[in-house]
Every structure is written in structure tokens, then in C-alpha cells.
Amino acid sequence: MRKSLEVILEIMKKEFYQVRRDKKMLVVSIVAPFVQVLLLGYAATTDIKNTTMVVCDQDKTEESRGFIREFSNSGYFIIRYVVNTPPEVDPYVEHARASIALVIPAGFARDLLSRKTTEVQVVLDGADANTANILLTYATQIVASYSQSVVARYATRIAGRSIPRILPEPRVWFNPDLLSSNFMVPGVVALVLMIITMTLTSLGIVKEKEMGTLEQLMVTPIKPHELILGKLIPFSLIGFLDVVIVLALARFWFKVPLLGSVPLLFGLSVLFILTTLGLGLWISTIAKSQQQAMLIAQFFFFMPFIFLSGFAFPIANMPQVIQYVTYLIPLRYFLEILRGIFLKGAGLNELWPQAMALLAMGVVVLTVSVLRFQKKLE
Amino acid sequence: MRAGIIQRLRPIIIKEFRQIRRDPTSLGMLLVLPAAMIILVGYALDFDVKHIPLVIFDQSKTAESRAFLDKFKQTENFDHKFDAGSYREVEDLFMNNKAKAAVVIPTSFASELLAGRDASVQILVDGSDANSAGQAVGYATRMTMDYSTRMVTQAWELRGREPYLPISFRPRIWYNPDLSSSRFLIPGLIGFIVVLTGVISTSLTVVREKERGTMEQIMVSPLRPVDIILGKTIPYLFISLLAASLILVIGYLLFDVEVKGSILLLYAAIFTIVLGALGQGLLISTITDSQQVAFMVSVFSSLLPSFLLSGFVFPVSSMPIVLQVLSNVAVNKFFLIVVRGVMLRGVGFDAVWEQFVYMIIFALVMLAIGTRRMVKRSQ
């Protein structure tokens, strides 16, 4: 046991020498996460701002103006252009000068007063499907609320007494202002941590293989698990430094509210980087060249993880089969942990399944790497 | 002279192709994995937020409240998963990520309605995912108000009047009428994958030679640095174009994503951005000495900016001004405007020439600096 520790220490020393000699690598692994989180924390926003609207009011009555006012008062839309005929609306949408167009038909007020259905049109540019979808939700909501009040008004007039309505009272928990940065910044933090830790280790063993130094290590009495631990620990230290940097950025620069426990946050972050470092090592044992290792990391890990972890696309929205696949993605659990601790003040009571999943994955991945490595040695 | 260049280039290109062929796994990954990504993304991702896990807390427990709640049970926007008996239970479900939205019916719901007074229902939403939460609020309020409106018009029907909805709302959505997210994402994915592969492959293939010391051998040969660069990049240019074509074919066959505009223009755009990516890779290879560092620099300078800064997923117009200016560094931003324009809107060169000019400048600058640094080293 003691001897094993000494061996691990020696390998660590060697790795540290290598890291120190390769100053660029050290700079990249510390400065890059800082810069990336700083920039991309701002970039990843799903807030729809500055939505300009072009209006074509063919009715020009008190009613139609009231209806348009519902749109401008909602806070979602800024009425920037007014045109007279429906075809004039098209160039505004086509050249993206307006995100949405509202066309009110002639006879809007007449139909409303004579209790006939009147047809209002909105025009959206669907090429940006996400924005169009959100704008459509807002617009439909405004129309529904207007309809409700129109009907209630007339119904009251007919019945001679007030007709009851059901009024929705929305209340948003955990992030009352619906700031997307509170959701996205922890996501960017997790993403950057994953990428840095996996790239650090994914080339670690392949490199020795390619350079032929692995054979030299094999003839020494070093055991596989000693080699793996010796390689892993220095990278874990760099990874931990990155954890501190990026979490501090999220809390103090982006002012993401941190409601939960700080030690728990750090503890589970360490658990996460152990899994990703382990995954990197595992890639390193299955790849034949550094190029292969990087292709595997990029296509089998980074891309699917980014798309399927719930970073930007809600998991509940995916087909059932894919939802099962997401259980294999450590980033998914870490995102739930980060967002839970930051925004909801969740503790181990709520987060133990995610913590267990990360722990299990870490153990499995590291064991498999050691075993694969052992087999290769014999 | 012309023949001279080709003669000089041939052996390096052949060597590079041989190296690629000797490693069929890598080649397979370069071609097959982008295609797999398209299928995954096209199939898995949808912006239209559906199936929001819902918890219902019905304090009224009357025929009226049940009739109202039925609407929430039938829609595909919400999945009714839990019934709670207290606010505490609702909060627990939110904390454990089991539910993201709740409808709470007050005790007085039915009595208020029967007495002819307005009743209110509470809609609680987990706001940590701001985007989904906003949409959940939108769906729930709309459903509530529509239900209420219909309640009134039904009452009219009983009095012998025609029921009606005052405003019928007809959205007309251009270019992507069913708001399919694959039609939105696939053009972006082409740029994402092509840039990534180009930058990483070139930077690694050059640094690999440096690491092994074979770069010196090539340098002392009569080949000029320009020849070496061309020989190293041309094979990857081919592979990238092939990967892009594969994505286009799959997008068309599986997800009905057609190219509305000119295919030639589309390929011109892909060609230009690949050149830029190869130049960027070359530049990275001249400032790094190990594959590990080259890989890291490549990922951080291409993967994350292409994903987050380019407008691929997040709208550039919503970013802070400083970042909108900075986003110009991500050449993918311009590529995306061109490709979405050509593929979805069917625009011609006159609508996207500015973006083309930028992409060409980017490619030229990257290639020029990369080549210069390489030439300097060799002297």
C-alpha cells in the first residue's frame, strides 16, 4: 500500500513536470475556461428582446386600436412600423426588419359588435423556429385574453348581470423574473468544465502509446491502477481549480443566486469532474491515435452531451427512447445538480439520486479503464 | 509552372490520403458521425415545449373544477403526472424536478362561479428554465381564458343564441410553416460540423508531424511551405465537402429539409467556410506544439463559439451589444445567414453577398497568417 502510494506520487511528479514544461497547456486549461464562461455566459440567452412589430390596421376604429394597444402594452412587442395594405407587410418580415406582423381586417369592429367571428392574422418568419414559436405563444395569449374580455362584456350586457370568468394567476417560482441567464450560466459552467477535463485526459494515454513511452512504462513494475491514478490526480487538481474559477464567475460576475450549500456544490462538482476525467481516460484507452481519441471525444461525447443533456433543449420534450439515452449522460445529472443548488436551494435530500448516478458512473468508468489497460499490458 | 505545382503537390496529397486510409476508423468517424448527429438532432430536438410534467392541486373537488381540469389532462402541452393534497407536496415535486408546473384550484372555485363572481386559478411554474417556464405560463393562461370564454358562449347557446369565438386567430408562418426545429437546426449543424472537423483535423495533422519530428524532414525537402500547406489541407477540404453533402442528403430524405435556392451557391458557401476553418486550423498548428494543446485551442475557438455565438441556437439579436460585436469573430454566424437564406428562403447571391465577402476575408486572413507563420518557421 505504501509502496503503491510512492509510485503514484512519482508518476504525479512526472506529470507535473510535463505540465510545467508545457506552459501553453497550463495557460489554456486555466485561462480558457475563464474567458469562455465570461463570454458565453452572455451569449447563451433565450430571452427574446427587441421584438419589433409591423401593424396593418385596415379597420381604423376604436376597437381595432384597442386591440393593437393590447399588443403594445404587453411589453413583448414594440410597434415600429405601420402600413396600409396587407402586402406591404411582407418586405418587413422578409428582410427581418420586423419579427412579427399583425394584420387587422376591415370590418373588425363591426363583426365584434354584431357577434360574428373576425379573423386576425399574424405573420412570422419561421426560419428562426425558436423565436417564432415563443412570439406565437405571446400573441396567442394576448388574443385569448382579449377574446375573454370581449365575450364577458357582451354577455353581461345580454344577461343583465355579470357573467363570471375564470382568471389565471400565474406565479413563477425560483426565478421570478424569468431571467434566462440564471438557467443558462450554470449550464455554460458545466459545459466548459466537461470539455476542459475531458480534453485534458482523453489524449493522456494515447500520447504515451503513440510516442512509444508506454512500452517503457510497461516494463517498469508500475501497476495499471497506479499509472491511471498518477495521471488522474494532477488533472483533477487543474480541474478543481477550474471549478473554483467558473463557479465564482457564475456567482459573483453573473450574479446567479446561490441558495444552496456551498460545500455541497463543490463536493458534487468534484464528483462530476471525476466522471469526466474518467471518461477522458477511457477514450484514451480505446483510441489508437490522438486523432482518433479527439474524434471520439468530439462526436461521441461533446456533441450528443451538448444536445441531449437538457443544456438548452428540455429533456421532457424528447422522444421516449432518447429520454432513456439521456440517463447515460453525466452532464445531465450535473446540470440538475447545479441548477438545483443555485436556484432552488436543493440539498442532498433532493439531489441524492443525481449524486449516486454520478458516483456510479465514475466508479464504473474508472474500473473499466483500469481493466482495459491491464489487459493491454498482459 | 502550373504543371510544376501539381507535380509537387501530388505526392503530399497522396501521402496524406494514404495516412487517412490507413486509419479507416478515423475516416469512418469523419463521415458517418456527422450523419448520425443529424439524425439524432433532427429526431430528438423540438423547440415547441410539450409534455411539461404537471401537478394538479384541486382544493375545490367539484364537478366544475373537474370539468375545467379535464382541459389540462387532454392537452399534449402538459403531462398530468401527480395530484397533490397540499402546497408542501407541490413544492417537493418542484424541488425534486418531478413536476415543472402546477394548477391550483381554490376551495371557493365552484361557489364563486355559481354566485356569478369571477373565480381565479393559480398557475405555478418552475422558473429555473426561463424559456420553458415562459411557454408553460403562456399555454396555461391561454387554456384557462379559452375555457372561460367558451363557458360564456355555451351559456348563450342555452338561451338559443349561436356560440362563437370573437377572434379567430390565424398565424401565417413563412419558410417553415410547421415550425419544424430540424429545418431550423440542420443548416446550422452543417456549419457546426464542417468548421469543427476542418479546424481540428488540420491543426492536429500538422502538429502531429511536429510532435514526431517528421515536420523537419518535410521542411528540408525541396517542397515549399505553400505546397505542404496545400497538400495537407486539400484532402480535408474533400472530406468536409463530402460530410456536408451527406448531411444535406439525410436532411432531405429523413426530415424533408429541401434546398430552396441554388445548390451551387450553397456549395460555394460551404467551400468558403471550409477554407476559413482550414486556415484557422493551420494558424492554431503554428502556435501550438502538442496535439493536446492544439485540440484544446481548437475546441475552445471553434466548438463553443460556433454553438453559442453564431445564432445556431440562441438569437444573436438578444445578446448584449458588446457580444453582438464579438460574435463577428464566429465565422459561422455569417455562414448561417447564408445557408438559412439559401436553403429555407431561397434567396440569391444579391441577398447574401455581404456575408460572402466577410467569409472570404476571414478565410484569406486565416490562410495568410497561417502560411506566413509556417514559412517563417521553415526559414
CATH code of A57's domain: 3.40.1710.10
Whether A269 and A297 map to the same domain: the answer is yes
| Contact yes or no for A118 and B168 at CB 8 A | yes
Q: Would you state the pLDDT for residue A224?
A: 75
B133 vs A contacts (CB less than 8 Å): 172, 175, 178
What are A117-141's pLDDT values in tens digits? 888 888 887 777 777 888 888 888 8
Chain B CA closest to residue A204: B292
The domain boundary, picked from A159, A189, A218, lies at A159
Distance of residue A343 Cα from the nearest chain B Cα, in angstroms:
7
Q: Would you state the pLDDT for residue A69?
A: 92
Across the range A99-119, mean pLDDT stands at 86
| Contact yes or no for B26 and A336 at CB 8 A | no
Q: Which of A116, A170, A179 sits opposite B125 (nearest CB)?
A: A170
- Does A161 have pLDDT greater than 70? no
Q: Check CB contact of B328 with chain A, cutoff 8 Å.
A: no
SS (H, E, C) chain A: CHHHHHHHHHHHHHHHHHHHHCHHHHHHHHHHHHHHHHHHHHHCCCCCCCCEEEEEECCCCHHHHHHHHHHHHCCCCEEEEEECCHHHHHHHHHCCCCCEEEEECCCHHHHHHCCCCEEEEEEEECCCHHHHHHHHHHHHHHHHHHHHHHHHHHHHHHHCCCCCCEEEEEEEECCCCCCHHHHHHHHHHHHHHHHHHHHHHHCHHHHHHHHCHHHHHHCCCCCHHHHHHHHHHHHHHHHHHHHHHHHHHHHHHCCCCCCCCHHHHHHHHHHHHHHHHHHHHHHHHHCCCHHHHHHHHHHHHHHHHHHHCCCCCCHHHCCHHHHHHHCCCHHHHHHHHHHHHHHHCCCHHHHHHHHHHHHHHHHHHHHHHHHHHHHHHC
Whether A246 and A351 map to the same domain: the answer is yes
B30 vs A contacts (CB less than 8 Å): 295
Distance of residue B288 Cα from the nearest chain A Cα, in angstroms:
8
Is A166 a domain residue? Answer: no
Distance of residue A3 Cα from the nearest chain B Cα, in angstroms:
31
Q: Which of A32, A40, A169 sits opposite B296 (nearest CB)?
A: A32
* Dihedral of the alpha carbons of A62, A68, A74, A78, in degrees to the nearest 10: -130
Residue A99 main-chain phi, psi, to 5 deg: -85, -20
Across the range A327-356, mean pLDDT stands at 91
Integer-rounded Cα Rg, in Å, for chain A is: 29
Whether A218 and A354 map to the same domain: the answer is yes
Count of domains in chain A? 2
Interface with chain B: mutation pick from A35, A128, A197, A292, highest number of B CBs within 10 Å = A128
Q: Which CATH superfamily hosts domain B52-158?
A: abc type-2 transporter like domain (3.40.1710.10)
HSE, side-chain direction, 13 A CA sphere, residue A17: 6
Across the range A104-114, mean pLDDT stands at 86
Kindly provide the b/e burial profile for residues A235-269, where b requires at least 16 CB atoms within 10 angstroms of the residue's own CB: bbebbeebbebbbebbbeebebebebeeebbeebb
Q: Which of B124, B201, B304 sits opposite A36 (nearest CB)?
A: B304
Q: Would you state the pLDDT for residue A159?
A: 66
Whether A279 and A329 map to the same domain: the answer is yes
Q: Would you state the pLDDT for residue A162?
A: 67
Q: Check CB contact of B47 with chain A, cutoff 8 Å.
A: yes
Whether A183 and A201 map to the same domain: the answer is yes
DSSP letter string, B19-52: HHHH-HHHHHHHHHHHHHHHHHHHHH--SS---E
Amino acid (one-letter) located at A56: C
Is A119 a domain residue? Answer: yes
How far is residue B129's CA from residue A184's CA, in Å, rounded to a whole number?
Answer: 8
CA dist A84 to A73, A88, A104, A126, Å?
22, 7, 10, 24
Is A270 a domain residue? Answer: yes
Q: Would you state the pLDDT for residue B29?
A: 75
Whether A300 and A373 map to the same domain: the answer is yes
Report the percent of chain A where pLDDT is more than 90. 19
The domain boundary, picked from A130, A159, A188, lies at A159
Q: Would you state the pLDDT for residue A378?
A: 57
Q: Which residue ranges make up each domain of chain B?
A: 2-45+180-378, 52-158
Pick out chain B residues at pLDDT < 70: 1-5, 47, 160-164, 169, 377-379
| Contact yes or no for B23 and A46 at CB 8 A | no
SS3 label, residue B80 = strand
Is A173 a domain residue? Answer: no
The domain boundary, picked from A105, A129, A159, lies at A159
Record the pTM.
0.81
Whether A8 and A155 map to the same domain: the answer is no
What are A10-47's pLDDT values in tens digits? 877 877 777 777 777 778 788 888 888 888 888 777 77
Q: Check CB contact of B71 with chain A, cutoff 8 Å.
A: no
Q: How many CB pairs under 8 A join A and B?
A: 392
Whether A257 and A363 map to the same domain: the answer is yes
C-alpha cell at B232: 495537407
Whether A142 and A229 map to the same domain: the answer is no
Return the higher-pLDDT residue of A164 and A92. A92
Q: Would you state the pLDDT for residue B69?
A: 92
Whether A123 and A230 map to the same domain: the answer is no
User: Do residues A284 and A293 lie in contact, with contact meaning Cβ atoms separated by under 8 Å?
Assistant: yes
Whether A257 and A196 map to the same domain: the answer is yes
- Residue ranges making up the domain that contains A31: 2-45+179-377
Across the range A198-204, mean pLDDT stands at 82
Its ipTM equals 0.78
Whether A128 and A266 map to the same domain: the answer is no
Is A227 a domain residue? Answer: yes
Q: Would you state the pLDDT for residue A160?
A: 65
Is A307 a domain residue? Answer: yes
| Contact yes or no for A165 and B323 at CB 8 A | no
Q: Check CB contact of B326 with chain A, cutoff 8 Å.
A: yes
A152 vs B contacts (CB less than 8 Å): 148, 152
Average model confidence (pLDDT) across chain A: 84
Q: Would you state the pLDDT for residue B1?
A: 47
Distance of residue B95 Cα from the nearest chain A Cα, in angstroms:
7
A132 vs B contacts (CB less than 8 Å): 173, 176, 179
| Contact yes or no for B184 and A130 at CB 8 A | yes
C-alpha cell at B78: 402538459
Q: Would you state the pLDDT for residue B363?
A: 92
- Does A100 have pLDDT greater than 80? yes
What are A297-323's pLDDT values in tens digits? 888 888 888 888 988 888 887 888 888
Q: Check CB contact of A322 with chain B, cutoff 8 Å.
A: yes
Return the higher-pLDDT residue of B151 and A104. A104
In the stretch 152-171 of chain A, residues with CB closer than 8 A to chain B read 152, 155, 158-159, 161-171
